[in-house]
Structure 1
């Protein structure tokens, strides 16, 4: 019998595979790259690199067991950040299971029938706020289906459904004025006060979300005026598709009010009491517990729902530890400072604004290979932080460059799992999406360039 040999379809490597390959490259580099170190000094609890103090040192290449020991060490050293992500997932799962989020959206849809612009703008703002506080990232995918029903009723196409849900959530995620997964982790690594520079990020949020509303509504208006201008075609809605059964109850309202009030208090506590990411992780448990009680869950249901939320974010949480392993190898092999010194020399010849924009571009490119905000923060921020010290820009600027570079490209790259899943739910091809989205990506990038230039000019602090 003739046996047919089927070729396996090539798949793009998983994020964990890519990060492990980066780890192996770091191991090889310890045998090739000269070892060296900067002097460091501590001031007000912040450790900074002393410019011009780099000196060569004895090399210490990594062995076979060092590869796997670095993974263990990376997990241990990142434990605080890992549990921050897990507890955030647990908290948001309780809020989501209570029905408060989707019934609130249903209520907004029902009350704004016939007010298309106000409805589109409100939904974009709501999803952007959800992304900005870390409530909506991968979890936005189920809401895309709701968006599809909505745009059918408005006689718009499914591409708009992705725009007002996924796209809105991720531009909020990118601005991230209260995002524990990117800004929280980056601030922790850069030794900056947690969520410092929030006013600047709120301005960034307003500009980016405003541009998103304008661009999305511009496309919607074109379709309303001439349906043939739709990039993918319009599918009519069934008469009963928007007759949602669930009611936005007083409990749902109270849960959302409690969550919003608790997050506002946390911002106050960060400023007043210098709360850290450890406090935030603990506070997520409190928010989830109280939200579960308000929702009428019993103690077992609260516990199991919280653990289910933690389980959903294990993938995103453990990548932080694996990414940290790369840093462990580079630090133990004493090649991290050599890399920073090599990067600082050409960058120091550039104007500070050009350097900040260069960091944005560098993070955007790197995100194609590591489409994980927390994982990218764990890899890039240890490099960018001392680099900022060397070239004379503030660490706050490097965090901005990281979050914009990571966040924007998540909505473009086909290596972004949440993007491809959202497009699949809506039935939109990536090619059509890229054609629609790319001009908006350029608009966001121009805004980011202006914001980064402004941040450099005003010396956005703290250092």
Structure 2
């Protein structure tokens, strides 16, 4: 992925007041240890999960003070970090392998080719363009958690939108709405829903079809918002939120966007591999090991079909994996927070305190409360996988105590993480894509805020619906 750097001769930009994600999580690890000296140690009684699930289930009402409260050494938070990395090793290796394979797919030209072909085919109508690309990008986020991979495509989208007398806000809306909706409703995303379901003791990809329905409805909401804006600025270009920005230079179409048979075959292999994994997860209990295997096969076949030089393919794979280092570290550091809370025996105390706040509100309000917690958390931990490891160990037992199904707790995490992915200023991806599209952050917030309000209103309805009709939609524990 191309990096974004300041041009030579330009004054250095003033640093924002938001801390880097790794710094923030490291600080939370320290805070977790400090809390272990303040919060009384306690624990719940637990029983084995029902057949077909793994882990233990909290026994509601069984919280009691720990008989022997541990006292952590001052340097315990440092030892917790390598233990967190070790604990999350399966997910970390998955992140590296997926990153390498996605890099091979992009190097083959297949992704750029199918995007340009779709945009050209839909270009006769803004509605078809917006709807088609929303589905295209959204499917990538829904299935394998694509997001960073879309950044290099921004110049293509902006160029096509400008040619249709639209603006860069429309291009960014297409990308970020599909990305946010895809993550918020994902059914097979290995960086989000699969991690959360694993922590919650749920079978991977369970509840898939209800999430597909949510995905389509949320895409319709996003389409209405973007299309209404597009029609407004086509009728009156002065209404554009970026009418004052110069787009006369820097948005050229890539030279090689031919949708050749080798690229078609590569995309078929990719789609076929994802479908095969979904089937295996639902019928044979496949998970991380099998997903890694399938992605490696996709990468090898991509290099073979594209006739890449083995050495070049190796460098591309390593480069793609290297770009995921930050995400991998965030996952391990985030897991270290749980390690410290568990070692200090205060995680159950925190759960019990939160449950007490929600006591008497009923499962409806508890589900909405979970959505609020996850939404706020994502402003500080924009990594979906990192957030899952921080919050789901607390939300999963809390669901047992408040009468909320584990699937609903996972869905609350997905909504809180995915939708706010469109706007969080702590996300390097948000800031980077806006920079590529020459969109001021304030103007982007003006455009996306009404959309977020619509999506969160629907999310609240969906959560309450899942509480009352979970058994009919595959959301009952």
TM-score by length of 2: 0.92
Q: Which moved more, 1:274-283 or 1:190-199?
A: 274-283
Alpha-carbon shift at residue 241 of structure 1 (Å)? 4.4
Q: Which residue of 2 aligns with 1:62?
A: 72
Q: Do structure 1's residue 18 and structure 2's residue 29 form an aligned pair?
A: no
Alpha-carbon shift at residue 293 of structure 1 (Å)? 1.3
Q: Do structure 1's residue 461 and structure 2's residue 475 form an aligned pair?
A: yes
Distance 2:258 2:444 in 1: 33
**Alignment check: 8 A CA contact 1:131 1:137 kept:** yes
Q: Which residue of 2 aligns with 1:323?
A: 334
Show structure 1 runs of 5+ residues with no match. Answer: 1-5
Q: Which residue of 2 aligns with 1:38?
A: 44
Give the SS at the match of 1:60: coil
Q: Which residue of 1 aligns with 2:267?
A: 256
Count of residues paired in the alignment: 458
**Alignment check: 8 A CA contact 1:30 1:59 kept:** no
- Superimposed CA distance per residue, residues 113-147 of structure 1 (whole angstroms, 9 cap, x where no aligned partner): 32222122111211111111235212211111111
With over 3 angstroms needed to count, the CA separation of the structure-2 counterparts of 1:65 and 1:256, relative to structure 1, is same
Q: How does 1:18-417 map to 2 (within 5 A)?
A: 18-42=24-48, 43-44=50-51, 45-57=54-66, 58-134=68-144, 136-233=146-243, 241-242=252-253, 244-417=255-428
**Alignment check: 8 A CA contact 2:72 2:344 kept:** yes
Distance 1:244 1:450 in 2: 46
Give the SS at the match of 1:458: helix
**Alignment check: 8 A CA contact 2:334 2:389 kept:** yes
**Alignment check: 8 A CA contact 1:152 1:235 kept:** no
Q: How does 1:437-448 map to 2 (within 5 A)?
A: 437-448=448-459
Distance 1:63 1:302 in 2: 47
Q: Which moved more, 1:341-350 or 1:132-141?
A: 132-141
With over 3 angstroms needed to count, the CA separation of the structure-2 counterparts of 1:300 and 1:36, relative to structure 1, is same
- Superimposed CA distance per residue, residues 258-305 of structure 1 (whole angstroms, 9 cap, x where no aligned partner): 111110111110111011123212221122111221121233333222
Alpha-carbon shift at residue 237 of structure 1 (Å)? 6.5
- Superimposed CA distance per residue, residues 30-87 of structure 1 (whole angstroms, 9 cap, x where no aligned partner): 1111111111110323410111111111211221231111101111111011111111
Alpha-carbon shift at residue 403 of structure 1 (Å)? 0.8
Q: Which residue of 2 aligns with 1:3?
A: none
Alpha-carbon shift at residue 444 of structure 1 (Å)? 0.6
Distance 1:237 1:10 in 2: 29
Distance 2:57 2:247 in 1: 60
Alpha-carbon shift at residue 350 of structure 1 (Å)? 0.9
**Alignment check: 8 A CA contact 2:355 2:401 kept:** yes
With over 3 angstroms needed to count, the CA separation of the structure-2 counterparts of 1:254 and 1:152, relative to structure 1, is same
Alpha-carbon shift at residue 244 of structure 1 (Å)? 4.3
**Alignment check: 8 A CA contact 2:19 2:426 kept:** no
Q: Which residue of 1 aligns with 2:3?
A: none
Q: Which residue of 1 aligns with 2:7?
A: none
Alpha-carbon shift at residue 167 of structure 1 (Å)? 3.0
Alpha-carbon shift at residue 23 of structure 1 (Å)? 0.6
Distance 1:29 1:236 in 2: 51
Q: Which moved more, 1:378-387 or 1:65-74?
A: 65-74
Distance 1:9 1:424 in 2: 15
Distance 2:55 2:254 in 1: 56
TM-score by length of 1: 0.95
